[in-house]
Amino acid sequence: MNRNLVFILLAFAACTQKPVQENINTSEAKEREYIRAIEGEDEDLNLEEITRGEVLISYSDCAECHKEDKRAKGPAFQNIAKRYPNTQAYIDLLTRKVISGGTGSWGSPIMSPHPELKEEDAKAMVSYILSLEK
């Protein structure tokens, strides 16, 4: 009788552990699909530009839709940094996106346009975002 109980408990434990592992793998796969990291070599970013960008973001309306480390209405800044390499080409691309707005890059959220933002300020802000730990 004891052997049967041990066998049932071991079988139950084995069955319950597998879905937990599958959920972890599914969650990781969803996160990778959400971020869709772009391959590329990072370039050195200007520390002064990064610092200026951090200050500009702190005085902007970015926090209404973005948080540094978790999704809100829009993607987390750290997820943006994980997706895009630190290159001038991507800084230019994201600068245009900040100024003109857009949709579709991160699902259904709409990036509001910021036409009043100077290009050099938007570049500094994007440089700060891309500098965040990946």
* Per-position DSSP letters for 59-99, written without gaps between them: TSSGGGT--SSS-SSS--HHHHHHHS-S-HHHHHHHHHHHH
Residue 132 is given by DSSP the state S
Tell me: is residue 66 an annotated ligand-binding position.
yes
Tell me: is residue 111 an annotated ligand-binding position.
yes
Helix (H, G, I), strand (E, B), or coil: what is residue 133?
coil
Tell me: is residue 62 an annotated ligand-binding position.
yes
Nearest to residue 102, comparing CAs of 116, 91, 112? 112
Burial class (CB in 10 A: 0-12, 13-18, 19+), 22: exposed
Rounded to the nearest 5°, which phi and psi values hold at 89?
-60, -45
Q: Give the other-Cβ count within 10 Å of 71's Cβ.
A: 15
Which residues belong to the annotated binding site for heme c?
A: 62, 66, 111
Which residues belong to the annotated binding site?
A: 62, 66, 111
